[in-house]
Amino acid sequence: MGEQYNICDNAVFTNALDQKRRMQIFNIPPSRINLQQSPYNGNITKFDLDMRRKAEILEYKSNRMCSQTNNPTKAQQYSSIMTGNNSRRIRPPANISECRLPSSASGVPGNLILYNDPNIELYNMKSQSQSYGIQPKPIVDNRWNYTRIQNIYSAESEFTTFTTIYMVAVDQPSRTFRINTPVVLMISDTALASTPLYNDVSGLGITIQTLSVNVKYSANNVDINGQSSQFTQFEPSKSIDMSFNLPAGTASYTAYCYLGLFEINNLNLQTESGYIYDIQMKVTTNIKRSDAYMTKFGTPDISLILNASMSDISYRTPTYTIYGGIPQAVPIPSSFPMLSVV
């Protein structure tokens, strides 16, 4: 016999499960029905609770029905007095719990002894047939939602997800998206232990060779031919030459270079409701180190900060200078624009 087919190994099946699981984030559960707290505490029995309800019902005095003999109206009382139809009544004590009576005294057949114990809680007095309606779901205005996590660190040559798009209530089978995200280049290095500390850092050139975009549908890559991407303020093919001074006594540095907005255009995606897409980015760089730099420092670590914001990053020290990429150094803005998907 051949090898048995296992649907759990099928990519279509596993992707569907992953999409359904991740889409649960938008599920709004109905209101929880909190039942009345149970009075059973070991000392109270079902018979005690039933007796408490029976006594409450038989003690009920209606203000709507005038034909009850236990609670006649004033007109009935006057009529009874005038006609001489006075019946002998036995008035029990005010607290019925002090007087135990047979059920026949209340017009209930049987020889059950009725009593009212005020120490027993009145439980489940209302009808058990309660209707719990489910509120209609609110109308969804957003055709899609996307994550806005700030300051996502992306190592060089590794695809990193910087936003996830959830198709919620789309009205088209496909749509072309445009995505903008602020990007910061981070360079860090440590002085060689065998050399004295140097304040001057120069002779380091960095060129961004490629900056790739990838879209994943669960575990599968999506064909995004036709999309284009670019920086709005920086030419990746140009070299970034770093030159700054370290604070005295510092053996390492971390420099930040704001590259501006990274813009993705003509990103065409299938927009079936329930689809989830992870938008990823990867950068590859070429590093040129002068002999003077290599005598002081090792190989710098290069990474990107995607969806950059001022809340988590200090851009004030050390200072830096960019040559070649643009006519002048890209200034560090007082605030960054937010990630946008339109």
pLDDT in tens, 211-245: 889 999 998 999 888 778 877 766 666 777 777 67
Q: For residue 221, what pLDDT is reported?
A: 92
pLDDT of 321 higher than 50: no
Q: Is residue 21 in some structural domain?
A: no
Q: Are residues 94 and 238 in the same domain?
A: no
Q: For residue 279, what pLDDT is reported?
A: 94
Inter-CA distances, 198 with 9, 28, 195, 229, 236, Å: 57, 59, 9, 39, 29
The CA distance from 25 to 243, in Å, is 47
Q: For residue 280, what pLDDT is reported?
A: 94
Q: Is residue 37 in some structural domain?
A: no
Q: Are residues 96 and 167 in the same domain?
A: no
Q: Are residues 282 and 321 in the same domain?
A: yes
Inter-CA distances, 33 with 40, 136, 226, 252, Å: 20, 17, 52, 59
- The full length of the chain comes to 342
pLDDT mean over 120-131: 68
Q: Is residue 8 in some structural domain?
A: no
327 close to 173: Cβ distance less than 8 angstroms: no
281 close to 215: Cβ distance less than 8 angstroms: no
Q: Is residue 187 in some structural domain?
A: yes
Count of domains for the chain: 2
Nearest to 66 by CA among 79, 54, 57, 55: 79
pLDDT mean over 47-74: 70
Q: Is residue 310 in some structural domain?
A: yes
Q: Are residues 72 and 187 in the same domain?
A: no
Q: Is residue 267 in some structural domain?
A: yes
* Domain final position from 114, 133, 161: 114
Q: Are residues 312 and 182 in the same domain?
A: yes
The top-scoring range by mean pLDDT among 74-78, 80-84, 241-245 is: 74-78
Q: For residue 290, what pLDDT is reported?
A: 86
* Domain final position from 92, 114, 136: 114
3-state secondary structure the chain: CCCCCCHHHCHHHHHHHHHHHHHHHHCCCCCCCCCCCCCCCCCCCHHHHHHHHHHHHHCCCCCCCCCCCCCCCHHHHHHHHHHCCCCCCCCCCCCHHHCCEEHHHHCCCCCCEECCCCCCCCCCCCCCCCCCCCCCCCCCCCCEEECCCCCEEEECCCCEEEEEEEECCCCCCEEEEEEEEEEEEEEEEEECCCCCCCCEEEEEEEEEEEEEEEEEECCEECCCCCCEEEECCCCCCCEEEEEEECCCCCCEEEEEEEEEEEEEEEEEEECCCCCEEEEEEEEEEEEEECHHHHCCECCCEEEEEECCCCCCCCCCCCCCCCCCCCCCCCCCCCCCCCCEEC
Confidence of residue 198 (pLDDT cuts 50, 70, 90): low
Q: What percent of the chain has pLDDT over 70?
A: 68
Q: Are residues 211 and 170 in the same domain?
A: yes
Q: Are residues 176 and 309 in the same domain?
A: yes
pLDDT mean over 131-135: 60
Q: Are residues 110 and 187 in the same domain?
A: no
| Containing structural domain, residue 50 | 46-114
Q: Are residues 217 and 308 in the same domain?
A: yes
The residue with greater pLDDT, 253 or 137, is 253
Confidence of residue 186 (pLDDT cuts 50, 70, 90): confident
Q: Is residue 262 in some structural domain?
A: yes
Confidence of residue 210 (pLDDT cuts 50, 70, 90): confident
Q: Are residues 77 and 190 in the same domain?
A: no
* Domain final position from 114, 136, 152: 114
Q: Is residue 159 in some structural domain?
A: yes
Q: Are residues 231 and 324 in the same domain?
A: yes
pLDDT of 156 higher than 50: yes
Q: Are residues 110 and 148 in the same domain?
A: no
